[in-house]
Amino acid sequence: MRYYIFEPACDTPETGSQYPQVQKMGAGYDFESSNSVRVLSKSYKDFPDFKPNFDYLVVHAQAKLTDLLSIAVIHGGFLISERLKRVFEGLNIAPHRFYSAKLKHRKAFYENYYWMYIICNLSSFVDYKKSSFYVYDYFHSLGFIEVNSKEEYSQKEKKLKDKNPDKAVTIWAQKIYLNESFDRNLDLFEIGTFNANYFISERLGNAIIEEKITGCSITPTDNLIVSG
């Protein structure tokens, strides 16, 4: 099965030239509250026991409303329309929850949008010996590094950061092989740890195209391979 990188589109006739489409919350939004969108984080091991406050997100006046919206104020999921939500609900998605979100675009308000919060890390299903990794410093690759297991990755990552406390040095994956324990029925997922992309199956990609969902970038990738 072939996989694709899935993300919001940028600077297209559908989305408009403004990116990201959502750059801020409404006036007076309390970012310090216990249910603020800032509380949501990829550091969560489970979903929060509160309802996050998404009242309201401001869509830039020069951007267009789409089914998938690019957003700057929160990470770890997707801001989606009711139409895209229905597409996702019909397929097999990594652990997620939908939270109602209120949007303002120009002078109009919209309440048929959702924040789809995803908690997914599949680094335990990676075949490390087959995969390839490199040392990364900001926007520069500092060369490949051998990694033979998840434990070895953690050790080398820690050693690298300890040696470079003042630099944003990390280890990223260049090509990822998933082992036979990976759930091939997943239609949307994230590897995590050393890769920040969201991947979708060909089945989900086709559904998005058939339903004419707007605002999506779907890019074929040869850097994710399922063994077996």
Residues (pLDDT < 50) of the chain are 42
In this prediction, residue 82 carries a pLDDT of 98
Q: Long-range pairs for 185-188 at CB < 8 Å and ≥24 separation?
A: 185/92, 186/92, 186/93, 186/94, 187/91, 187/92, 187/93, 188/6, 188/88, 188/91, 188/93, 188/94, 188/118
Q: What is the pLDDT of residue 71?
A: 96
The pLDDT, as a whole number, for residue 43 is: 54
Same domain, 112 and 191: yes
Torsion of CA 2, 123, 81, 83, to 10 degrees: 40
Same domain, 106 and 133: no
**Total H helices, total E strands in the chain:** 3, 14
Q: What is the pLDDT of residue 19?
A: 96
pLDDT of residue 172: 96
Residues 116 and 94 in one domain: yes
Q: What is the reported pLDDT for 41?
A: 63
What is the distance between the alpha carbons of residues 19 and 24, in angstroms, rounded to a whole number?
A: 12
pLDDT of residue 139: 79
Residue 55 sits in the same domain as residue 73: yes
Same domain, yes or no: 145 and 82: no
| Overall number of domains in the chain | 2
Same domain, 111 and 82: yes
pTM of the model: 0.94
Task: Give the pLDDT confidence score for residue 128 in this predicted structure.
Answer: 98
Domain boundary among 178, 196, 212: 178
Q: If DSSP codes are grouped into helix, strand and coil, which group holds residue 85?
A: helix
Q: Are residues 12 and 98 in the same domain?
A: yes
Q: Are residues 143 and 112 in the same domain?
A: no
Q: What local confidence, expressed as pLDDT, does residue 91 receive?
A: 97
> Do 89 and 155 belong to one domain?
no
On whether both 72 and 155 belong to a single domain, the answer is no
Quote the domain boundaries for residue 26.
3-121+183-226
Q: Are residues 14 and 69 in the same domain?
A: yes
